[in-house]
Structures are given as C-alpha cells and as structure tokens.
C-alpha cells in the first residue's frame, strides 16, 4: 500500500515562472538532479500524453499526464518501468506501484506562489523521498526567484 507524502514550499515568484521552471527541459534537469544526476523527462507535457522520467542511461519509469491545468496543476499517474529507453511489460513487482499518483499544485497570492507536491510512495522509498524532495523544491525556489 502507498504512503501519501506531501511537500510544500512558498516561492517569491509568479506561478507562471514556477510552472516554467518545473516543466522546461533545462530547468527540469536542474531541479531533478537530486534524484539522479542526468535526470530528464521526455514529454510534450499535455494532458493525456505520456511522459518518460529517465536517468542518463535511459532507465526510469513511464507515466501518463492524467490532468494538466497550465500554471496551476500537473498530475501524473505512474504506470511502469523503462529500460534502455524501452517501456517494459508490467510484471508483478510493477503492479504493486502502478497507478501511483504524483501531483503538483500551484496557487498564487500577493506575488507569492505556494507549490505543493503530493505523491503516492511505496513504503521502501518513503525515507528517500522525504530526504530528496525538499532539496529538489529548494532548487525550484532558487531557480524561480532568480530567473
């Protein structure tokens, strides 16, 4: 069963700037380095489309963007594993976490953007995410405020 994790940060920048930092290829690679040095994503970032979250070796996971409201909300449903840039068949281990959600919500008030990330985590990765996600969000904050 999943653990629901929530991370929040307030950023002194408009939500359009924060959105751009989150999903622009160059800045995406910057803030996701804490997860994997050569982390990147392959997607058009449109609702209903697929996204591959990959490391430098072309391994990672594939997901679907189940909801996208530009500058406000991006929701992913994680589906399976990618190895060498190829989506792998769903096996028993993958079935245990397939369907996990990862949501990014941006709200703006008085020039400050509140970014909240909510994700379903397998218990074995809970401490990893609790350690790395705050670091990633600090990078998003820094990139957004110094853009």
Return the residue matching tokens 């068949």: 89
Cβ atoms of 79 and 63 within 8 Å: the answer is: yes
**Whole-structure pTM over 0.75, yes or no?**
yes
DSSP state letter for 44: -
The pLDDT score that the predictor gives to residue 1 is 67
Burial status of residue 104 (CB atoms within 10 A of its CB: 0-12, 13-18, 19 or more): buried
Average pLDDT of each block of 10 consecutive residues along the chain (147 residues)?
92 98 97 95 96 95 98 97 94 90 97 97 91 98 94
Provide the CATH topology of domain 2-145. Answer: Alpha-D-Glucose-1,6-Bisphosphate; Chain A, domain 4 (3.30.530)
Contact 101, 107 (CB under 8 A): no
Q: What pLDDT does residue 76 have?
A: 98
Residue 115's Cβ-count burial label (10 Å; 0-12, 13-18, 19+) is: buried
* Res 77: pLDDT: 97
Q: What is the largest CA-CA distance in the chain?
A: 48
Across the chain, the runs of DSSP E, i.e. the strands, are: 2-11, 40-43, 50-54, 60-69, 73-83, 86-87, 101-109, 112-122
Question: What are the beta bridge partners of residue 69?
Answer: 73
Question: Hey, where are the domains in the chain?
Answer: 2-145
Give the pLDDT of residue 147: 73
What pLDDT sits at residue 93?
A: 86
């Amino acid at each position: 069963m999943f653990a629901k994790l929530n991370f929040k940060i307030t950023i002194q920048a408009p939500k359009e700037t924060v959105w751009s930092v989150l999903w622009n290829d160059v800045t995406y690679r910057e803030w996701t380095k804490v997860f994997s040095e050569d982390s990147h994503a392959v997607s058009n970032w449109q609702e209903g489309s697929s996204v591959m979250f990959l490391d430098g070796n072309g391994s990672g996971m594939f997901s679907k963007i189940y909801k996208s409201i530009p500058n406000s909300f991006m929701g992913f449903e994680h589906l399976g594993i990618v190895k060498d840039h190829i989506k792998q068949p769903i096996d028993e281990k993958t079935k245990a976490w397939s369907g996990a959600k990862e949501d990014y919500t941006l709200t703006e008030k008085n020039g400050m953007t509140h970014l909240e990330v909510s994700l379903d985590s397998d218990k074995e990765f809970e401490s990893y995410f609790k350690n790395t996600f705050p670091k990633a969000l600090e990078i998003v904050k820094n990139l957004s405020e110094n853009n």
